[in-house]
């Protein structure tokens, strides 16, 4: 089994150490530090922000489609950080790349003080992000498009390296003895999804196939997965790339009357329920709440103190391999939309 688990691992100790040092420096060095902490706590309890910096405006523009709870978690994290940091938070999304470009331009036209953006189809965003840079708007990329982030002038990228996440999934598949994996890509042209499948292929060690489905039409995707399972009895594992697609994949497995394992990227109520019941073998989590929270918080830190995490490298929020052993602990946080 993979050693990357929900429980803290050595991979994440350096990040934890940095956070611990930050908390220690802020809260226990002097009486003044304690008073500042008490003041922030009192402001938060009163429904206000915990800081006294100007009321900056931050926009987040994502490639999210309708009805995906993953993005609800990203947004919730961003909104909670904005409330803490005295920030006016603006959110918009569109699964169509050209529409996303227009939303970014609208944020620039509003003269926002900071911009968070996803780069699922990175090259299409080059020109508009160049306009953001020319307007002096600091940009942080989140979730997807890590390879484009620095090239387009972003301060940093927050998320997981998708190829590494795929490799983690592939190693887990190999350790579970899976012989022939069907990796389901639900958004053709999405660089991150391609990297997940290619990374998994590189480490899985057995047969590996890729199936493209229409993630906007779940009944059609369900039928396509089911048909593939019925046509190829050697497939013993379905690997989906999102929580909603995992739920669709489970339905497809039932339709095909096949005893195959379903594994997935990302969480959701049905994924956690599947981990608990055993219908889902494992999930690769990238902590979407943290991507939204840290995105807003890092822009605030940059605006207020010219701080930035990562040392010129992306800030990793994953991957973590989660299994049945983690399901009970996760359920509460998934239910409230923060995992």
Tell me what pLDDT residue 38 has: 53
Distance separating alpha carbons of residues 169 and 180, to the nearest angstrom? 14
Bridge partners for 181 per DSSP = 208, 237
Q: Is 6 helix (H, G, I), strand (E, B) or coil?
A: coil
Nearest to 186 by CA among 159, 211, 161, 164: 211
Bridge partners for 285 per DSSP = 320
Q: Give the DSSP letter string of 148-210.
A: HHTTTT-S-EEE--HHHHHHHHHHHHHHTT--EEEEEESSTT-HHHHHHHHHHHHHH-SEEEE
Nearest to 68 by CA among 246, 296, 200: 246
Six-digit token pair at 301? 């830190």
Tell me what pLDDT residue 26 has: 43
Reading the chain (339 residues) residue by residue, the pLDDT tens digits are 433 444 444 334 344 444 443 434 444 444 444 444 454 455 455 556 779 999 999 999 999 987 778 899 999 999 999 999 999 999 999 989 999 999 999 999 999 999 999 998 888 999 999 999 999 999 999 999 999 999 999 999 999 999 999 999 999 999 999 999 999 999 988 889 999 999 999 999 999 999 999 998 999 999 999 999 999 999 999 999 999 999 999 999 999 999 999 999 999 899 999 999 999 999 999 999 999 999 999 999 999 999 999 998 999 999 999 999 999 999 999 888 898
User: Which residue has 């998320």 as its token pair?
Assistant: 159
Q: Is 259 helix (H, G, I), strand (E, B) or coil?
A: coil
């Amino acid at each position: 089994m993979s050693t990357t688990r929900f429980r803290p691992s050595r991979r994440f100790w350096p990040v934890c150490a940095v956070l611990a040092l930050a908390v220690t420096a802020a809260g226990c060095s002097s009486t003044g530090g304690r008073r500042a902490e008490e003041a922030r706590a009192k402001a938060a309890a009163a429904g206000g922000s915990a800081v006294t910096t100007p009321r900056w405006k931050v926009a987040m523009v994502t490639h999210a489609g309708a009805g995906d709870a993953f993005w609800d978690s990203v947004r919730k994290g961003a909104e909670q950080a904005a409330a803490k940091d005295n920030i006016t938070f603006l959110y918009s999304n569109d699964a169509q790349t050209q529409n996303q470009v227009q939303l970014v331009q609208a944020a620039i036209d509003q003269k926002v003080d900071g911009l968070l953006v996803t780069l699922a189809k990175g090259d299409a965003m080059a020109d508009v992000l160049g306009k953001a840079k020319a307007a002096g708007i600091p940009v942080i990329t989140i979730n997807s498009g890590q390879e484009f982030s620095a090239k387009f002038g972003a301060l940093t990228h927050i998320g997981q390296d998708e190829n590494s996440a795929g490799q983690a999934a592939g190693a887990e598949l190999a350790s579970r003895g899976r012989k022939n994996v069907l990796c389901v890509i639900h958004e053709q042209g999405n660089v991150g999804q391609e990297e997940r499948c290619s990374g998994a292929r590189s480490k899985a060690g057995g047969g590996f196939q890729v199936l493209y489905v229409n993630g906007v039409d779940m009944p059609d995707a369900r039928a396509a997965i089911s048909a593939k399972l019925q046509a190829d009895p050697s497939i013993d594992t379905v690997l989906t790339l999102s929580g909603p697609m995992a739920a669709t994949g489970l339905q497809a497995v039932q339709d095909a009357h096949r005893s195959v394992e379903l594994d997935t990227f990302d969480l959701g109520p049905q994924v956690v329920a599947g981990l608990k019941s055993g219908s889902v073998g494992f999930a690769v989590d990238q902590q979407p709440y943290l991507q939204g929270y840290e995105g807003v918080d890092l822009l605030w830190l940059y605006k207020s103190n010219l701080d930035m995490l990562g040392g010129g490298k992306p800030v990793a929020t994953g991957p973590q391999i989660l299994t049945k052993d983690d399901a009970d602990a996760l359920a509460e946080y998934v239910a409230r939309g923060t995992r």
